[in-house]
């Protein structure tokens, strides 16, 4: 990876340093995202060409809904080992966060880096007074971080067929006015 260590081999330090993404990190983040999503999480098959997450992330970096402090990298031994982004979304007219994509270097998956990124995102969002975070992901994975099916809290998915895969994490800023259909940042509408 450009500007860092070769994260295809195990790093000396197993613990990531978490920090806000900087524009100079973007090429390395996009490369990591391409590798992290080279196998489709839906089909389990190799993706032909660039994964859609790469183009989406490129657009999210430049969209109006981008929130710099919620684009977080995990760095190990000078290289970017993982990245997560949350952008402005809405539940009805209520500001909310939409999480994703989140990616970890394939050689470093299942080592707690994704967990650290999710926990850091929740902590930063709570400190900023956000009411919650929505995501589309595995109902077998995200509940361990406090995510629940969104409909259980009165939040409807943008696509009805998403079912329990569309999840929400309620934060301390949650209030009774949070209900309605969720809208992700504009780049998601082009998927």
E-only strand ranges, 105-150? 132-136, 148-149
pLDDT band at 13 (very low <50, low <70, confident <90, very high): low
> Could you report how far apart the first and last alpha carbons of the chain are, in Å?
27
Q: What is the pLDDT of residue 15?
A: 73
Following DSSP, what letter does each residue of 75-99 receive, concatenated? EETTEEEEEEEEEEEEETTEEEEEE
Identify the band that residue 14 occupies on the pLDDT scale cut at 50, 70 and 90.
low
In this prediction the pTM is 0.90
Stretch 68-73: mean pLDDT: 98
pLDDT in tens, 120-132: 999 999 999 999 9
Cβ distance 188 to 134 under 8 Å? no
Of 184 and 47, more confident: 184
pLDDT at 6 over 50: no
What confidence tens digit (pLDDT) does each residue in 53-68 have? 999 999 999 999 999 9
Q: Where are the domains of the chain?
A: 17-190
pLDDT of residue 40: 80
Separation CA 96–CA 151 (nearest Å)? 15
Read off the pLDDT band of 1 (50, 70, 90): very low
The CATH code belonging to domain 17-190 is: 3.40.630.30
- What is the per-residue pLDDT across 173-191, written as a single tens digit (0 to 9) for each? 999 889 999 999 999 988 8
């Amino acid at each position: 990876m450009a500007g860092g260590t070769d994260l295809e081999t195990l790093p000396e330090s197993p613990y990531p340093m978490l920090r806000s993404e900087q524009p100079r990190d973007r090429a390395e983040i996009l490369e990591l995202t391409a590798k992290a999503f080279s196998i489709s999480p839906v089909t389990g098959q190799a993706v032909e060409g660039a994964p859609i997450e790469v183009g989406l992330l490129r657009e999210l970096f430049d969209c109006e809904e981008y929130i710099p402090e919620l684009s977080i990298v995990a760095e190990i031994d000078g290289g970017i080992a993982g990245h997560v982004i949350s952008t402005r979304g809405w539940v009805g007219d209520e500001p909310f966060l939409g999480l994703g994509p989140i990616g970890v270097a394939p050689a470093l998956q299942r080592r707690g880096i994704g967990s650290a990124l999710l926990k850091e995102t929740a902590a930063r969002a709570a400190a900023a007074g956000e009411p919650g975070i929505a995501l589309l992901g595995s109902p077998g994975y995200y509940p361990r971080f406090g995510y629940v099916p969104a409909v259980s809290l009165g939040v409807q998915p943008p696509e009805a067929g998403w079912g329990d895969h569309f999840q929400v994490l309620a934060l301390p800023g949650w209030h009774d006015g949070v209900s309605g259909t969720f809208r992700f940042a504009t780049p998601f509408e082009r998927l």
